Structure formats: structure tokens, C-alpha cells
């Protein structure tokens, strides 16, 4: 999930609505931040009104978003595990070949090629 996707936009909107609804309960912030109904600060007032009047709908959307995010994270974790396994396998092969070359042994592929050529003769 990133900020430039649709699900990221939903998360940001939910955070704005929930935060403004909570801040509406604080008297000093309510009079300072949420008193303007038009203009830039009107966005915060409207978000607070949505959060207080539609609190049941906001909570349902939060729960759905949490389940969706969990499923997305599980898929990402499976993909990253598969990639990590592949990278580790390639690194082990590379390190093994370097070690064999450093000690003077032929690599496994070269040994197989020698065996194949000698068996064909």
C-alpha cells in the first residue's frame, strides 16, 4: 500500500475523518480548528461532521480496510520470501564456486562437462 494508490487514498481519508472527529471533542481545538465551515479549514470541519454523524459507516470501512491491508501484506510477505530464497540460493552457488576456484578445484559445472565428455568417448 502506498500513498499514490486508491487504497492509500482511502486510508488517508479515514485517518483525516477519524482524527477530526476525535479532535471535535477537545474544546480548544474545536473552537480553533473546526470553527471555520468554508475555505481550507472547512475540510477539517466537514471531516469531523462526517466522523460524528456516520461513525458506524466509518468504523465498518476501517474494519474492511484493515482486513484488506492484512491480506495484501500476507501476499507481499509470501512474494518476498520466495525472492529471498532465490537470492540466497544464487549467492550460495556463487560463494561455493569462488571457494572452489580459490582452492584450485574445478566448479561443479566444469566437472559435469568433463564427465560428460569422457563418457561420450
Spell out the SS3 assignment of 78-120. HHHHHHHHHHHHHHHHHHHHHHHHHHCCCCHHHHHHHHHHHHH
Cα–Cα–Cα angle for 82, 87, 89, nearest 5°? 95
**What is residue 111's predicted lDDT score, i.e. its pLDDT?**
66
Domain boundaries, the chain: 1-53, 56-121
Residue 45: CB atoms within 10 Å: 19
| Cell 456516520 sits on residue | 54
Confidence label for 107 from pLDDT (cuts 50, 70 and 90): low
Cα–Cα–Cα angle for 81, 9, 3, nearest 5°? 50
Question: Whole-model pTM?
Answer: 0.54
pLDDT tens column, 45-87: 888 888 888 888 888 888 888 888 777 777 778 888 889 989 9
pLDDT above 90: percentage of residues in the chain: 1
CA atoms of 36 and 62, how far apart (whole Å): 27
More confident position, 69 or 114: 69
Q: Please check the confidence at residue 121 and state whether its pLDDT lies above 60.
A: no
pLDDT tens column, 22-35: 888 888 777 777 77
**What is residue 119's predicted lDDT score, i.e. its pLDDT?**
67
Amino acid at each position: 500500500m502506498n500513498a499514490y494508490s486508491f487504497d492509500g487514498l482511502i486510508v488517508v481519508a479515514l485517518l483525516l475523518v477519524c482524527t477530526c472527529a476525535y479532535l471535535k471533542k477537545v474544546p480548544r481545538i474545536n473552537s480553533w480548528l473546526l470553527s471555520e465551515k468554508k475555505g481550507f479549514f472547512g475540510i477539517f470541519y466537514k471531516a469531523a461532521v462526517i466522523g460524528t454523524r456516520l461513525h458506524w459507516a466509518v468504523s465498518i470501512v476501517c474494519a474492511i480496510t484493515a482486513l484488506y491491508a492484512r491480506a495484501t501484506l500476507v501476499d507481499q510477505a509470501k512474494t518476498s520470501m520466495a525472492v529471498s530464497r532465490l537470492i540466497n540460493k544464487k549467492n550460495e552457488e556463487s560463494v561455493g564456486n569462488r571457494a572452489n576456484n580459490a582452492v584450485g578445484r574445478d566448479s561443479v559445472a566444469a566437472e559435469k562437462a568433463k564427465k560428460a565428455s569422457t563418457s561420450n568417448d
